[in-house]
Amino acid sequence: MTSIINSLKMISDPTRLRILLLLEEESLSVAELQQILGMGQSRISTQLSQLKKESLVADHRSGKNNIYTSQIPPELSKVTQQAGKELPESAKDRSSLQHILRKRKDQVRAYFDNLAGKFGREYVPGRSWKGLAEAMLKILNYDVVADLGAGEGTLSQLIAQRASKVIAIDSSKKMVEFGQKLATENNLPNLEYRLGDIESPPIDDASVDLAIFSQALHHAKQPPKAIAEAHRILKPGGRLIVLDLLQHSFEKARELYYDTWLGFSEVELAEMITQSGFADVETAIVDREEIPPHFQTLLATASK
């Protein structure tokens, strides 16, 4: 029989209480708990081990993962639910959990993730991610597009071949001058470069159909503000695309690439986008570099 005293000691710890509240909602793996709680694997595993010892959680094997399930008795569940109302992290945890569950249900995304995992393992002449990306950009059908943090504008130039107008924003005067020169040389009069910051882009409210951050958000001083600005400039029904680095620990990136942030977790990025007023938020890890430090690319999409 579960000791009530020991159980109360278990839930007196905020981290264990957060874990229990999540597991009462849904069975989760350690990796999923990591994403939701933003904590390391060893810390979460230690807490789960203590909860399991007191028979408050149980686990079972599913493929390579251990899946944890709540075993809290009904009388104790009432206590945890009441205590959870005092936790400032509860609302964020619930929102992050819903994001994880949406990802689970996305069978189409799972299919393409599986396909992406196989792509490139065998050589096929002429097939490449670059070729596919350029082909997909050709069929984009957006009227006005904002490339926020465009750099020299490779992406902007590709999109300009299809869109009616592309506004490329960058904070470097030399980048803007270089990009505008390339646009002129490549006969792209619909590609306009503007000097500005992604946290306050010089673009009118509700004036663009698609806003893109391509490896730009981790340079922002305030990423949530940059995303909020993207929401401001988008028309109702407009789309947001974010390509950035998955959270990593390569500290040298700060001095080598002038990165302000060491990437973002899926849950963290989804939360920032949701809080800015976007809907239909989806995230996926779409690439992993083979050479150290093995940067991974995180893709997020949403609609206004």
In tens, the pLDDT along 24-72 reads 999 999 999 999 999 999 999 999 999 999 999 999 887 778 899 999 8
Q: Which of 287, 194, 289 is nearest to 243 (CA)?
A: 287
Q: What integer is the mean pLDDT of 93-121?
A: 66
Confidence class for position 147, pLDDT limits 50, 70, 90: very high
Report the distance separating Cα 53 and Cα 47, nearest Å. Answer: 10
**Angle, in degrees to the nearest 10, between helices 30-37 and 41-53:** 120
Return the CA Rg of the chain.
23
Q: What integer is the mean pLDDT of 193-206?
A: 96
As annotated, the residues of the chain forming the CATH 1.10.10.10 domain(s) are 4-89
Residue 300: C-alpha distances to residues 152, 269, 283 (Å): 22, 8, 4
pLDDT tens-digit series, residues 14-30:
999 999 999 999 999 99
Q: Which of 64, 57, 62, 63 is nearest to 26 (CA)?
A: 57
Question: Considering the domain 108-303, what is its CATH architecture?
Answer: 3-Layer(aba) Sandwich (3.40)
Question: Considering the domain 4-89, what is its CATH architecture?
Answer: Orthogonal Bundle (1.10)
Report the distance separating Cα 205 and Cα 154, nearest Å. Answer: 25
The pLDDT value recorded for residue 104 is 74
Report the distance separating Cα 191 and Cα 208, nearest Å. Answer: 14
As annotated, the residues of the chain forming the CATH 3.40.50.150 domain(s) are 108-303
